[in-house]
Amino acid sequence: MLNLKNIVLKISNYKYLLLFTLALGVTNCKKETSTESFSIGIISDCQYCDCDIRFVGGADRYYRKAPQRLHNAVAELNKHDLKFTIHLGDFIDQDFKSFDSINPIWDKLKSKSYHVLGNHDFSVADSLKNKVPNKMGLTNRYYSFELNNWKFIVLDGNNVSLYGAPTTKKLKEAEELLAEVTKDSLLYAKFYNGALGSEQLTWVKTELENAKTNNLNVCFFNHFPASPMTKLNFWDKDAFLTLVKDYDNVKLYLNGHDHAGAYDEVNGVHYVTFKGMVDTENTNTFASIKFTKDSAFVQGYGREENRRLKLK
């Protein structure tokens, strides 16, 4: 005859054993959470071509040294646990064939890798301009991705430009924007700069709303600086700055283009311009960034300096 008391006791013991086992499994399961720190790699303006040394923008540019410098940067970054590495534009200086010399070096990165489009990346034959993004592994000229509690937004400051606009409509918009900033005598009214354009700015707003809804911090990547004021800003930077001012989750804006480097802070957003790899005779420059709960720590190599960017 079955003992009802013993059956109840066995069921009870099994329930506690099951709960203990589940708890133990949760305890031993390592889960990446939004508060965990992570690191990324940063390189800007590799700007390779098989060209003689030229003095540009206040410094000599050693184009033929770029492949070795990129190789050294990749070797160092591969020693570290990086979630991704991004190049901030001007991967080449000119000539479509230049990509074939440095893409194999870039492909040796152990981390995921991303590209920002720069103005010199379009210094190729007109018939090849539409092939540049694909040559750099891009399916979209501007895009975003998420990691932990961050949304990374990669902008295309050439999307509306005189040299890299993908459509006639955007070329016309570029001509109108350049005429406007020229009329206003703005410092950055230069033919070699570009703009995001109305279509991309609308997309940025959608991305920012999405990040706000999902409680994500935002980091922008672009080739062109938004701040401080310089002759190298993108033409519609004021429209961009007005847009991001309404989103306190925007924390960082990282760019290249100005090879000397720069820093500014506006409304709690850190604007960092990374130095150009192609510059100077004997020194390299690149960086890694460690993201923590309250800071982004820039570890500079070569000419790039260390920074602590406190996240407010």
- What are the structural domains of the chain? 36-310 (3.60.21.10)
Angle of CA points 272, 122, 244, to nearest 5°: 35
Give the pLDDT mean for 25-35: 41
pLDDT value for 35: 59
The reported pLDDT for the residue numbered 34 is 54
- As a whole-number percent, the residues of the chain with pLDDT over 70 amount to 89
Cα separation, 243 vs 226, whole angstroms: 12
Q: Please tell me the least confidently modeled range out of 35-39, 155-159, 254-258.
A: 35-39
pLDDT band, very low/low/confident/very high, at 28 (cuts 50, 70, 90):
very low
Q: What is the mean pLDDT of residues 42-67?
A: 95
Instruction: Tell which wins on pLDDT, 20 or 68.
Output: 68
Inform me whether the pLDDT recorded for 161 exceeds 50: yes
pLDDT for 15 = 41
Mean pLDDT of 271-276: 98
The model's pLDDT over 240-254, given as tens digits with 9 standing for 90+, comes to 999 999 999 999 999
Look at residue 21 in the predicted model and tell me its pLDDT. 37
Q: What is the mean pLDDT of residues 267-282?
A: 97
Q: Which of 24-28, 253-257, 268-272 has the lowest mean pLDDT?
A: 24-28
pLDDT at 9 over 50: no
pLDDT surpassing 80 at residue 216: yes
**Model-level pTM?**
0.89
pLDDT of residue 286: 98
Query: How confident is the model over 62-120, as pLDDT tens digits?
Result: 999 999 999 999 999 999 999 999 999 999 999 999 999 999 999 999 999 999 999 99
